[in-house]
Chains A and B, each alone.
Chain A
Amino acid sequence: MLEKTLVDSIKQNHSLTQAQQLALGKFIDKGFPTSKWEEWKYASLKHLNEHNWQWSPETLSVKFPKPDWKQSAIIQTLNGNTHSEGALPQGIALLSVSEFMAQNPTFESVWKARNPILDQNSLYDLNEALVSDFAVLWVKKGVKIAEPLLHHYLVSGQQDTAVQSKIFIYLEEDSEITWFEQQRSESSHAILSNYVQEIWVSKNAHLTLIKDQDLQQSITHVDHTFIFQQESSLVDAFTFSINAAYLRNNLHFYIDGPQVVSNLNGLYIPGEDQLMDTHSVVDHRMPHSESNELYKGVLMGNATGVFNGKIFVRPDAQKTNAFQSCKNVLASDRATMSTKPQLEIWADDVKCSHGTTTGQLSDEALFYMRSRGISKATAQTLLLLAFVQQVIDKLAHAEIRAELSDKIVNKIQTSLGLTI
């Protein structure tokens, strides 16, 4: 059924390029991931087969409230269509990928050779099959913008809708931006939100990437973020997974030059009937680089959490420093967490360390706090907030930090209030 509705709707709406047809064929062969696939063991998407999807999302026009902190630009991706609200700063352009490639002819072959790890990722194929021309945010050489670029990502539908979105961010040499992405939804219907974000970080460029994922309970959100880093570039990535029934993050870092620094910070706080799955890949392909992964999870209600952290250190990547930490608290007896660090090291002169823990709040601490008059829910909240603070504190931007902190406090308080 999936195949028929998909093919029918595509025939009506698009003419596919050869590459798209190829991707579509791959997707139809594989179908949606099931728990039999190793990479989707705890996060099957079989339930997506039960919907009669609208594959052509409606066009949206939405005005978001402006935050009261200063941003350098507002860019919106509404049901897959990307545009900027107002002017962009000097040295930054938003254009279609075909225009971008026309202006950067030598880059096209580099781009085609980028080769991300797409093992078992049929959702990426689906995205590729249905997205023909996507937007590129182009940051020109040496352009440094202090105020964040605000990205509104929104999915919506009056019926069960599958939304494919894609955006490519290209940072030229010596450039620097902060990309703050608010991922949201507005729908009481089931939405499959399938989002691909690819980012090219050239020599000496610096990207701060912040994702605030706060979607409704009817949403299945799959985020593929693939970052390709060149020599001496720096990326500070933050993923705050706050709400959605199903949230999967495939966050990949491909380290393609020496002296690269990749920092991955993540916090997921699923509550009742929510699943959050992080699959990170850090692929050290070149020597003298460094990656730091700091993930924390608070699992409440009957939440499911998954963390799979792959680190590859290829034979050429001597003198690599790779560090990974994933710590989780089960704040409820009904919550579960699966962690799997996966290190594959082919170089001999490297420093790698990893550690994952999953525990509960200490009964001793809770009793001590309650004996002072602090209610159980407040005591749990205080301990959990102290636990997640380390990740929040790494955000340099004070207002964004405060905004996210409030949101996280709120979510934890509501979830504990509901489930105790």
Chain B
Amino acid sequence: MLLVKNLHARIGEKEILKGINLEVHAGEVHAIMGPNGSGKSTLASVLAGRSDYEVSEGSVEFFGKDLLDLSPEARAAEGLFLAFQYPVEIPGVSTTNFMKSAINEIRTYRGQDPMDAVQFLKMFKEKMAYVNIDQSLLSRALNEGFSGGEKKRNEIFQMAVLEPKLAILDETDSGLDIDALRIVAEGVNKLKTPQNATILVTHYQRLLDYIIPDFVHVLYKGKIVKSGNKDLALELEERGYDWIISALD
């Protein structure tokens, strides 16, 4: 579903991604690991369409479409989802209203009728159970005054509502205690189907105890320098990144 070829991206004069190649198929879970500052969030942002980054070279196909040509909202409507490393506060807009707008705009994009209030309510109830989230949280202004854990759970709730084909989770595990981590991971696992795919961005192996990846990639200085299966993550946990980096330098 996703085909990234020789992707270069820069911000101002600074090149951050320096030739990323990545192929993701339906049913797969990929983990992207790497030390802080290696470009993981940049890759996630470029895929989601953040305009601060300029793509200087390369291509990204999503179900055969040129992803880089689409607005962020069109990418979402095509089935891409990014769980933010730092979810943004949206003053005065509740999660409920936010999600209603999102769902109905996506449905319009896809030529479907909008959902009515009753359908929403029913669907919301179902999805709330995935991440054990409370109604009161959904009525509050989105992410405003949420704890770290609440923000991350809310991201997964939004993912459950939007049912993306490809979900990119950027450090969704960071800042979570073990119980919250388990809830989030269970949510992600429940949402997995043979038709969708997940990219987990993390710099700990911890999350991968709960969500087993099919592929593990190491991103370093804007390039994927090593790929392997879940054993690579365990090896990274044990030996750190230095052995890969020193082999490169």
Residue numbers of A with Cβ under 8 A of B are: 362, 364-365, 367-376, 378, 382-383, 385-387, 389
Contacts and interface: CB of A to CB of B under 8 A. Distances in A.
B89 interface: yes
Contacts of A386: 90-93, 141
Contacts of A373: 73, 76-77, 102-103, 105-106, 109, 162
B109 to A, nearest CB: 7
Contact of A367 (B72, B81, B141): B72
A383 B50 CA distance: 19
B63 interface: no
B97 A382 contact: yes
Contact of A376 (B71, B81, B87, B162): B71
A290 B73 CA distance: 48
A373 B164 CA distance: 11
B216 interface: no
3 smallest CB-CB distances across A and B, nearest first, come from: A386-B92, A373-B76, A370-B72
A371 B92 contact: no
B198 interface: no
A386 B158 CA distance: 20
Interface string B85-112: 0011111110001110111011001000
Given A371-B72, A375-B105, A364 B162 contact: no
A96 B215 CA distance: 86
Contacts of A375: 71, 73, 105
Nearest to B106: A373
B21 to A, nearest CB: 24
B52 to A, nearest CB: 8
Given A368-B87, A371-B84, 15 more contacts: A367-B51, A367-B72, A368-B88, A369-B102, A370-B71, A372-B76, A373-B77, A373-B105, A373-B109, A375-B71, A375-B73, A376-B73, A383-B91, A385-B92, A387-B92
A372 B154 CA distance: 13
A369 B105 contact: no
A368 B90 contact: yes
Nearest to A370: B72
Contacts of B88: 362, 364-365, 367-368
A398 B89 CA distance: 29
A365 B89 contact: yes
Contact of B105 (A365, A368, A374): A374
Contacts of A389: 92
A372 B92 contact: no
Contacts of A376: 71, 73
B92 A370 contact: no
B49 interface: yes
B127 to A, nearest CB: 14
Chain B CB count within 10 A is highest, among A369, A378, A383, A387, for A369
A120 B57 CA distance: 61
Nearest to B83: A371
Contacts of B50: 367
A111 to B, nearest CB: 44
B184 interface: no
Nearest to A364: B88
A382 B72 contact: no
Contacts of A370: 49, 71-73, 76
A378 B99 CA distance: 12
Contact of B102 (A365, A374, A383, A387): A374
Interface string B53-90: 00000000000000000011101110001101001111
10 contacts: A367-B49, A367-B72, A369-B90, A369-B98, A370-B49, A373-B102, A382-B90, A382-B101, A383-B92, A386-B141
Interface string B27-51: 0000000000000000000001111
A102 to B, nearest CB: 53
A385 B92 CA distance: 8
B93 A383 contact: yes
B146 to A, nearest CB: 13
A107 to B, nearest CB: 46
Contacts of B106: 373
B115 to A, nearest CB: 13
B90 A372 contact: no
Contact of A372 (B51, B91, B102, B109): B102
Chain A CB count within 10 A is highest, among B48, B90, B91, for B90
A383 B91 CA distance: 7
Given A376-B73, A378-B101, A371 B82 contact: yes
B92 A368 contact: no
Chain B CB count within 10 A is highest, among A372, A374, A382, A387, for A372
Chain A CB count within 10 A is highest, among B50, B72, B102, for B72
